[in-house]
């Protein structure tokens, strides 16, 4: 596992975006696993810039997103489908038919999870997966648990995730309680995994996930099972504790 601590959010985003642009150049029909949240927004901006500069094209790219809230339609401005259009898809030459997210409006959880797993399999798996990290160590919406969900799952959000995500909604009553999330198995199976984390609020969980025990109670710690293909990018604030306590394991850029 490579852990990079960058000067600030923009530097973190630019460094992580390099791995994605290299992937796209080397394999123009790559399957990108994508993430939402505030952490990857800068990375998407950097990729849009590279597209505008004609450095990369998304014409043959296929995407699978990590997760979607249950009950939100794609035109709801809090849905992850909406987020992806706003932050990436509308700004590049991607064929929307090649973009995929779990369908939050499908009330049949079993069918939706099976559909999404079959879809990931039909694409031949994920070439490079982008991740953020929740303050409780969740990846996608795989919450701390006694068990590990390998495939797509229907998740009841924990109180801490519910509260953390409430900041994006007009009222707490609008925050969904459930989501569909790609499973940890599909994430760990990706050929490359890139996690971005910024801000003070992520400093403790980075130490817990990458230097504490590997446990399903901290889903991001499972990335250490496949550490050879994992790249972590933190800004200075998120990286503060790990830089101080584990200087030999951190590359300060
Ligand atoms: C949400 C998403 C995760 C994301 C996390 C962190 O719960 N489902 O995929 O990583 O929030 O979000 P942020 O980057 O805004 O801190």
Range of the domain at 137: 2-252
Q: What's the pLDDT tens digit per position in 146-194? A: 999 999 999 999 898 898 888 889 888 889 999 999 999 999 999 999 9
Alpha carbon of 101 to ligand 1 centroid (Å): 15
Q: Which residues are catalytic?
A: 67, 136, 138, 143
What separation in Å is there between the alpha carbon of 44 and the centre of ligand 1?
A: 15
Q: What is the CATH number of the domain that holds 19?
A: 3.40.50.1360
Q: Which atom of ligand 1 approaches the CA of 201 most closely?
A: 16
Nearest protein Cα to ligand 1, atom 3? 140
Give pLDDT tens digits for 2-58.
999 999 999 999 999 999 999 999 999 999 999 999 999 999 999 999 999 999 999
pTM score, two decimals?
Answer: 0.96
In this structure, the residues whose C-beta lies within 6 A of any atom of ligand 1 are 35-39, 66-67, 132-134, 140-141, 161, 165
Per-residue model confidence as pLDDT tens digits over 177-236? 999 999 999 999 999 999 999 999 999 999 999 999 999 999 999 999 999 999 999 999
Q: What is the pLDDT of residues 66-101, one digit of tens each?
A: 999 999 999 999 999 999 999 999 999 999 999 999
Q: How many domains does the chain have?
A: 1
Query: Which residue has 């990018």 as its token pair?
Result: 233
Residue nearest to atom 6 of ligand 1 (CA): 134
Atom 10 (ligand 1) nearest CA: 132
């Amino acid at each position: 596992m490579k852990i990079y601590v960058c000067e600030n959010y923009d530097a973190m985003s630019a460094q992580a975006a390099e791995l994605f642009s290299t992937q796209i150049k080397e394999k123009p029909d790559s399957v990108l696993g994508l993430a939402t949240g505030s952490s990857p927004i800068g990375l998407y901006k950097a990729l849009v810039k590279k597209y505008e500069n004609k450095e990369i094209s998304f014409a043959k790219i296929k995407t699978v997103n990590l997760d979607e809230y249950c009950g939100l339609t794609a035109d709801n401005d809090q849905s992850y489908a909406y987020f992806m259009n706003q932050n990436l898809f509308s700004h590049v030459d991607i064929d929307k038919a090649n973009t995929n997210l779990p369908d939050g409006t499908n009330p049949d959880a079993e069918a939706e999870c099976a559909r999404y797993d079959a879809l990931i399999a039909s694409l031949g798996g994920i070439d490079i997966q982008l991740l953020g990290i929740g303050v409780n160590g969740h990846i996608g919406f795989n919450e701390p648990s006694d068990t590990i969900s390998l495939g797509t799952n229907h998740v009841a959000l924990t109180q801490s995730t519910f509260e953390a995500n409430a900041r994006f909604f007009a009222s707490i009553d609008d925050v969904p309680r459930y989501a569909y999330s790609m499973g940890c198995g599909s994430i760990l199976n990706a050929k490359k995994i890139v996690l971005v984390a910024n801000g003070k609020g992520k400093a403790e969980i980075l130490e817990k996930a990458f230097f504490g025990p590997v446990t399903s109670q901290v889903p991001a710690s499972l990335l250490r099972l496949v550490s050879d293909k994992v790249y972590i990018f933190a800004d200075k604030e998120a990286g503060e504790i790990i830089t101080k306590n584990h200087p030999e394991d951190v590359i300060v850029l």
